[in-house]
Structure 1
Amino acid sequence: MSSVHCRAKLAPLLVGIIYTSGHRESTKMFVKLADDSEEPSSVVDCLELGYFLMFNDYMNKFKNPCSCSSTRYEPLSIVCENGDSLNAVLLALRQSPRTTDCLTISNIPINQLPGYAFQRIHTKKLILKNNGLREIHPNAFDGTLTEILEELEIKGNFIESIPQNGLSRLKKLRALSLSDNLIEYVLNNSFLSYESRNIIQRLDLSSNKIRAIHSTGLLGLENLTQLYLDKNQFHNIPTEALLNIPTLQDLSLGVNFIKDIPPGSLPLPKLISLSLEVNYIRTIPADSLQSVPNLVYLYLGNNLLTSVDPSMFFYMRNLKVLSMGNNKDITSISYNCKLKSNCRFYIAHDTFSNLPELVSLDLSSNAITHVDDFALSQLTTLSSLDLSGNRLETLPNNVIYDSLLPKGPKHSRALYLHNNPWKCENNLAWLRKWLRQNGDVQISINGQNNARCWTPSYLSGFDLRQTDPVHSVEPVLTRELMRKFVKPSTNLFIPTRNEIPLDKTQENPRIEGVNLVALILGIVLGVLGVCLILLVIIRYIIKSDREKSVSNLGSSSLASGFGGSGYNGGPIVGSRPFRSSTNHNIISVNKIIIEEYFLAWLHISLRLMISNKM
């Protein structure tokens, strides 16, 4: 009988034993694990190991900090966390019955890793995370680990330099991670004493405080292919140190303080992927990447680039992914453009002509306002283009000629155009039609941030893929076909009116923005004019009635004066009857003013009506 079947027969018995031990919750976890896993033998292994851990817990009368888990890539894994001490973990793991794929010890205080700590541990991968570790005993890994350990991660601790004690005795180490520690400088010959120096392929020194690497700091790593130096304090590319690792294929220097890429600073002929994201790079000389001819992935996003010389792509004909997004100072990608003040905000027509293998191009969140015709054309392998977050108002007809071609149902296409002030006029009609005809092209991320028209006002806010709601005369067949390609979203406008025959057109009333303003202004002026005329007329009537009453009063007084004594018989100069002739003149003037106001208002209203009709 095979060992797998033997273990499978033991599984129910183990579950029963665990139940009798009072670990009902843990048993449920193991039963669920047995139901979900794709590897039956590994599940039984995990059950046996889980029973072993539970039995140790029961016999030793202390809380076990370890548990067993199983994944596709790590069928048999132990996680020990939040324990009291390393001794508790080692007691739980003593005399472990078999080799595990991964052992993780996290959030357990370990100031110093003692000698022979793992002499009875059988695992291929060891992770020491967030333990407060500062020192490692020279014999810490002595035992079986020196012969079988392949991956070691010491993360989130207080290591201040590349460890020499303990690690140098590991013979099968292929991957070493010392990320998130306190390393400030990689000393000379830091790895030369490692017995596995010819085997190590992956080295992770990210999230430290490294400012520089000695010229011989990486000496001896003859087969290193991956080097991660992200989130450090580099101000320059460590060129001299890189000379000792010509086998490198993946280099990451993101989130540092690098300001330039001098020519020859990357002597890595086999480099495939280069990340320089989130730095302070302003310019890239044309020949700065000449020493990496096999580059496939280039990430330059989140820098301070002001211009890019397209001739630098001449040396990278295998480039497939180019990311230059979120360089908010970038104004031009064209030849002979060095200073920001001398550059137009555009992409020249032959910018990417030397990149026949390009698959993904990210130019998002820059300051590009114009793209030359054919600038992104004949990129037959291109499947993703991101022009979002720029200042583009339109695109020429042949800008993506022979690009973003369909390659079958299993290959997706994406064209991101959102966050641009698109002017949806005749010169952009080709793009809107192309988007409707190519309904499989993804234009938004997770159904959000669709590209929308900015102007004219009657189309503001409409999706670029939508048909014009005012002048659409598309046949029924075209719309039915588009419904098969495009699943309308909640904000997609689909006209429901009867279709217009192809041989007829229907003029829909449309009021342009300027005419609408003129019409509103005319109405307002007309209302004000009428109000003014009414006000003048009312004041005139009131004033006229008042003057008539005063005039009658003055006439009676004058008559009594002539019939009285000689002293008081004459009319008094300055009395109201004396001003009656003046009031008559004022009334005449008011009539003239009213007539002039009325004629002026009538003239303005007629001119506004004529201009609106035109």
Structure 2
Amino acid sequence: MNQRPPRENRNAHRKNHQEEEEEECPRVSLPSCPAADDAGEDARRPLPALLVPSLWLYVLVLLAALAMPCRALCPNNCTCDDKALAVRCEASNIDVLPFTFNPALQQLSMYGTEIHTLDTHSLLWYPDLLHVKPKTFEMQVHLEELHLAQNNISELEADMFIGLSKLIVLSLRGNSIESLDGGVFIQLKQLKDLDLSENRIERLDNQALAGLSNLRVLHLRDNRLTEIPAQNLALVPDLAELSLGGNEFTEIKDTDFEAMRTLKDLDLSGTELNEGLSRNSLQGLSLLSKLNLEDCRLTHVPTEALSHLSKLEELHIGRNLFTTLPPDAFKENRRLHSLFVSGCLHLLHVEKDVLGHNMNIREVVITQNPSLTYIAQDAFRFLPELSVLDLHGNNLQQISEQAASWKDIAHWSLDGNPIKCNCSAAWLRQLTKAPNSSESVKCASPPHLAGKSLHSVELSDLACGMDPATQGLGHRLRGRGGGFDHCSHDNFQGYIMTPHKPVPVTEL
């Protein structure tokens, strides 16, 4: 009986054959030497006739593999694409950073590893690699993106970035970095996008961002900063996007943003500013077009602070503590085209002419405000560019027909409000039949109509003309052809308009 080759030889042959197909550097696994007790017996055994050709074939394959040009080493749990010049390493027990990849690499992503510290020494060796040259970052001269998010990195040194002269994007989001020393990014002359969010950063040396003259995007949100790093922001004067939300500072000084003349997008959401936003806190942001002030514990709309933002186009101001949106709240923001006010637990009223000076407004989203029961007449009327009015998920039992130019708005929504389906909702019923309306507006009361779509409710169910004040109203609403246009606004104002302060729904 012929003896099969040892298992180690078969596995090594299979492994080398697979690595040859993947164009990776081969790893050779040699069979261990026999024990001394068995050496004599094994030596006396003749080699089976069928085994000799297999051994010669194995040697030829091995020599061919060793002769192949070695372009890169790809560790376990990493995917190396030499065509796309990209490497991605998934969650693993890698605890040092291997950089013996293709020297022409352009994108590198590493997520969920056990890396704790990045310095020049940690880049020199990884136990599974066969060969690592010193200063291996110098080989990555073409690298443009480096993603090291969601690891456990706690320290950074300037020398670790030597060789990355063409790096454009660097993400260190979700690590354990507590501080940044001066000049730590000095090697990254071409860097444009730096993400340091979701770390534990408490301190930035005043020169931490030195050398980043081309930086355009900086994410520092969800750290532990107790003040805005104004001196570092002055080092990156061409910044276009900045996120500082979720930090621990409680005020914005008048000079904090004075160097941010080119900033267009500012995210301050999740900071407890409360009264820390003064009239001049946002001065210097003359080109700002997008501002996020959500969840800042603001007790009133900061109209004065916003007055410096003449170019503001998009404002997010939800999840705050104010109780009303007052008239002319955004009077100096003439270019405003999108307003988002959602999740304000204490918001009760939206007053008349809240957007009286905002003729360019196109999108208004005021949603999920559980205490909002009143929207005044003319709150959103006479706005010629308004195409989206989303009022879903509030606590509106009725709303005035004069609150907005409903028929001229391409998309509007009142879904999820507890609409009281009485005669005051007759105009709304008719509106739900228009092409731009939603048929999902539902009645919350009276009980016999609860849950029904207002679109499907008969006009007679709205009890128009059932009391002396509305005698004949049902006939006028129906008209000859059942249309709503026959109803005169002048004769029945009490049933097509909302009272001025707050809606007395219990009396309707």
Contact 1:155–1:179 (CA<8 Å) still a contact in 2? Answer: yes
CA distance in 1, matches of 2:230, 2:481: 78
CA distance in 2, matches of 1:88, 1:162: 20
Candidates 267, 273, 280, aligned match of 1:264: 280
Aligned positions of 1:304-383 closer than 5 A:
304-333=321-350, 347-348=351-352, 350-366=353-369, 367-383=371-387
Question: Shift of the alpha carbon at 1:139?
Answer: 1.8
1:554 maps to: none
Candidates 442, 465, 472, aligned match of 2:455: 465
User: Aligned with 1:237: secondary structure?
Assistant: coil
CA distance in 1, matches of 2:158, 2:287: 36
Contact 1:57–1:63 (CA<8 Å) still a contact in 2? Answer: no
2:145 maps to: 125
Contact 1:318–1:357 (CA<8 Å) still a contact in 2? Answer: yes
Candidates 161, 170, 176, aligned match of 1:141: 161
State which structure, 1 or 2, has the greater radius of gyration over its C-alpha atoms.
1
Candidates 231, 235, 240, aligned match of 1:216: 231
1:399 maps to: 403
| Residue 190, structure 1, aligned to residue 186, structure 2 | no
Contact 1:57–1:64 (CA<8 Å) still a contact in 2? Answer: no
Question: Shift of the alpha carbon at 1:163?
Answer: 4.2
1:547 maps to: none
Contact 1:117–1:140 (CA<8 Å) still a contact in 2? Answer: no
2:441 maps to: 451
CA distance in 1, matches of 2:279, 2:75: 60
| Residue 80, structure 1, aligned to residue 70, structure 2 | no
Question: Shift of the alpha carbon at 1:249?
Answer: 0.7
Question: Shift of the alpha carbon at 1:200?
Answer: 0.4
1:432 maps to: 429
* Per-residue CA distance 1:416-441 (angstroms, 9 max, x = gap): 21332312222211112112122x44
1:581 maps to: none
2:415 maps to: 418
User: Aligned with 2:448: secondary structure?
Assistant: helix
2:117 maps to: 112
User: Aligned with 1:314: secondary structure?
Assistant: coil
* Per-residue CA distance 1:197-241 (angstroms, 9 max, x = gap): 2x1000000121111124423222110011011222221235422
1:159 maps to: 177
* Per-residue CA distance 1:24-59 (angstroms, 9 max, x = gap): 9xx9xxxxxxxxxxxxxxxxxxxxxxx44x446687
CA distance in 2, matches of 1:459, 1:306: 31
Contact 2:256–2:281 (CA<8 Å) still a contact in 1? Answer: no
CA distance in 1, matches of 2:215, 2:441: 47
CA distance in 1, matches of 2:272, 2:461: 54
User: Aligned with 2:433: secondary structure?
Assistant: helix
Provide the alpha-carbon RMSD of the alignment: 3.3
Question: Shift of the alpha carbon at 1:250?
Answer: 0.5
| Residue 150, structure 1, aligned to residue 171, structure 2 | no
Contact 2:96–2:115 (CA<8 Å) still a contact in 1? Answer: no
| Residue identity matched to 2:274 | K
Question: Shift of the alpha carbon at 1:78?
Answer: 1.4
User: Aligned with 1:437: secondary structure?
Assistant: coil
| Residue 65, structure 1, aligned to residue 77, structure 2 | yes
1:21 maps to: 17
**Given the two structures, how large is their TM-score scaled by the length of structure 2?**
0.70
* Per-residue CA distance 1:96-148 (angstroms, 9 max, x = gap): 15342x201233333332323522223201011233222233321212x12x1
| Residue identity matched to 1:296 | E
Contact 2:335–2:360 (CA<8 Å) still a contact in 1? Answer: yes
User: Aligned with 1:140: secondary structure?
Assistant: helix
| Residue 171, structure 1, aligned to residue 184, structure 2 | no
Question: Shift of the alpha carbon at 1:404?
Answer: 4.5
**Given the two structures, how large is their TM-score scaled by the length of structure 1?**
0.58
1:236 maps to: 251
Contact 1:189–1:218 (CA<8 Å) still a contact in 2? Answer: no
User: Aligned with 2:329: secondary structure?
Assistant: helix
User: Aligned with 1:67: secondary structure?
Assistant: strand
CA distance in 1, matches of 2:91, 2:374: 57
| Residue 384, structure 1, aligned to residue 388, structure 2 | yes
In the superposition, relative to structure 1, how do residues 132 and 431 fare at CA in structure 2: closer, same or farther (>3 Å)? Answer: same
Question: Shift of the alpha carbon at 1:467?
Answer: 3.7
CA distance in 1, matches of 2:358, 2:19: 61
| Residue identity matched to 2:310 | P
Question: Shift of the alpha carbon at 1:283?
Answer: 1.2
2:471 maps to: none
In the superposition, relative to structure 1, how do residues 76 and 431 fare at CA in structure 2: closer, same or farther (>3 Å)? Answer: farther
In the superposition, relative to structure 1, how do residues 64 and 465 fare at CA in structure 2: closer, same or farther (>3 Å)? Answer: same
Contact 1:379–1:403 (CA<8 Å) still a contact in 2? Answer: no
Contact 1:185–1:213 (CA<8 Å) still a contact in 2? Answer: no
User: Aligned with 1:21: secondary structure?
Assistant: helix
Question: Shift of the alpha carbon at 1:75?
Answer: 5.6
* Per-residue CA distance 1:424-482 (angstroms, 9 max, x = gap): 222211112112122x4456xxxxxx43112233322111222428669xxxxxxxxxx
Aligned positions of 1:593-604 closer than 5 A:
none
CA distance in 2, matches of 1:270, 1:455: 48
Contact 1:187–1:214 (CA<8 Å) still a contact in 2? Answer: no
Question: Shift of the alpha carbon at 1:294?
Answer: 0.7
How many residue pairs match? The answer is 394
* Per-residue CA distance 1:480-522 (angstroms, 9 max, x = gap): xxxxxxxxxxxxxxxxxxxx9x799xxxxxxxxxxxxxxxxxx
Contact 2:181–2:204 (CA<8 Å) still a contact in 1? Answer: no
Listed as ranges, the gaps of 5+ residues in structure 2 are: 1-13, 29-65, 121-134, 463-477, 483-508
CA distance in 1, matches of 2:460, 2:84: 62
Contact 1:422–1:452 (CA<8 Å) still a contact in 2? Answer: yes
| Residue identity matched to 2:300 | T
After the TM superposition, which of the residue ranges 168-177 and 392-401 deviates more from structure 2?
392-401
* Per-residue CA distance 1:352-406 (angstroms, 9 max, x = gap): 1211121221222333323333321122322222223333222222322266534
Contact 1:64–1:88 (CA<8 Å) still a contact in 2? Answer: no
